[in-house]
């Protein structure tokens, strides 16, 4: 464990991502369920998604994304003193995905744990990492959002199977004397547990007639998401005495283009200031913001000194937002 020295700030110093090789287009899905490219695009903005093969597990994808983030950060794997993995689709119940990633990276002995916050997983992870770094407990943290959503999809249900994809996004966070994570605000409301859920995952706890697939009330999810995302954006800007003009980029959870457009409109931001991957990735749950962040960094749109607003909402319901200076 590193020497405990309290830090002023937490900064992202490297990003990375991994997407499965297999791409499934809307036209591909139209061959197995009653749907069409136009129907899917109109309702979600999604054109394609990446689907993992049997070897592309959550731990494998997380490891590959982590390697790219480590390289981008200019550090060695052994510099990492905590591993955080946000996922609701682990390889198995035990061992945890985080310890599998630790093994793959060869950095034994450092603490590693998984946490589940659905599509808000990356935002929750930023909050967790920020606390550990600001208290001086850890100095360099690997955070990965990863999902193999295809493992919990009913491929005969057109209302859900067209929406999701697989992938992993990673960041390296480090203690710093210069501002990085400005503020992170997270929330949850378990009253909405029946609006978006997977009913079972443990063999001896399965209820008759319920299969371990995503169940979703689409209209309710949409209404809830638009409201709480608007509220949390107002909350985080007010808490930091900032307004929309201070935001260089909006990096939203990539679930539905209509929700993203509504959030940007509320902020008064042009869609040219929004990092979009939903059309290419679909909803990758905990991985989506990290994947979009990595794309924006690597294609040069996101530049040092810029201020980013990240926001997400997911099943259960959980939601949150983070303000970050790159």
Reduce the DSSP state of residue 170 to 3 states and report it: strand
Question: Which residues are marked as active site?
Answer: 119, 253, 283
The reply to whether 80 falls in a domain is yes
Q: Which domain holds residue 227?
A: 182-325
Whole-angstrom distance, CA of residue 164 vs CA of residue 167 = 10
Same domain membership, residue 305 and residue 166: no
How many whole angstroms separate alpha carbon 208 and alpha carbon 70? 45
32 with 101, same domain: the answer is: yes
> Mean of the pLDDT values across residues 89-96?
92
Determine, yes or no, domain membership for 219: yes
* Total structural domains within the chain: 2
Q: Are residues 157 and 194 in the same domain?
A: no
Mean pLDDT lowest for which of 147-151, 181-185, 216-220, 229-233?
Answer: 216-220
Same domain, 163 and 301: no
Cis bond leading into 156, ω under 30°? no
Binning pLDDT at 50, 70 and 90, where does residue 41 land? very high
State the pTM of this model.
Answer: 0.93
Q: Do 24 and 167 belong together in one domain?
A: yes
What confidence tier does 4 reach under pLDDT thresholds 50, 70, 90? Answer: low
Residue 4 lies in a domain: no
Residue 51 pLDDT level (bands cut at 50, 70, 90): very high
Residue 2 lies in a domain: no
Same domain flag for 277 and 228: yes
Residues 207 and 117 in one domain: no
Domain boundary among 150, 177, 204: 177
Region at 161 (left for phi over 0; alpha for psi -120 to 50; beta for the rest): alpha
**CATH number, domain with residue 202:** 3.40.47.10
Q: Is residue 1 domain-resident?
A: no
């Amino acid at each position: 464990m590193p020497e405990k020295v309290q830090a002023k700030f937490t900064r992202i110093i490297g990003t990375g991502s991994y997407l499965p090789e297999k791409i499934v287009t809307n036209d591909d899905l139209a061959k197995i369920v009653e749907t069409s490219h136009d129907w899917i695009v109109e309702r979600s903005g999604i054109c394609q998604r990446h689907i993992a093969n049997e070897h592309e597990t959550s731990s494998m994808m997380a490891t590959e994304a982590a390697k790219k983030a480590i390289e981008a950060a200019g550090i060695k794997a052994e510099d990492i003193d905590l591993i955080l993995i946000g996922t609701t689709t682990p390889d198995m119940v035990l061992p945890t995905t985080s310890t599998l990633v630790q093994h793959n990276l060869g950095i034994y002995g450092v603490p590693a744990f998984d946490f589940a916050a659905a599509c808000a997983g990356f935002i929750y992870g930023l909050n967790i990492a920020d606390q550990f770094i600001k208290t001086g407990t850890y100095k360099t943290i690997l955070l990965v959002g990863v999902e193999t959503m295809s493992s919990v999809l009913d491929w005969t249900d057109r209302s859900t199977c067209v929406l999701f994809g697989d992938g992993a996004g990673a960041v390296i966070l480090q203690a710093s004397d210069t501002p990085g994570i400005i503020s992170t605000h997270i929330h949850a409301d378990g009253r909405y547990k029946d609006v978006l859920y997977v009913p079972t995952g443990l063999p001896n706890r399965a209820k008759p007639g319920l299969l371990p697939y995503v169940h979703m009330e689409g209209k309710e999810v949409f209404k809830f998401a638009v409201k709480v995302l608007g509220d949390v954006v107002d909350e985080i800007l007010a808490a930091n005495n900032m307004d929309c003009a201070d935001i260089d980029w909006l990096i939203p959870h990539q679930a539905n283009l209509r929700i993203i457009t509504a959030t940007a409109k509320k902020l008064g931001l042009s869609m040219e200031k929004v990092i979009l991957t939903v059309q290419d990735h679909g909803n990758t749950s905990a991985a989506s913001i990290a994947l979009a962040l990595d794309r924006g960094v690597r294609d040069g749109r996101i530049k040092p000194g810029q201020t980013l607003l990240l926001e997400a909402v997911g099943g259960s319901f959980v939601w949150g937002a983070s303000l970050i200076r790159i």
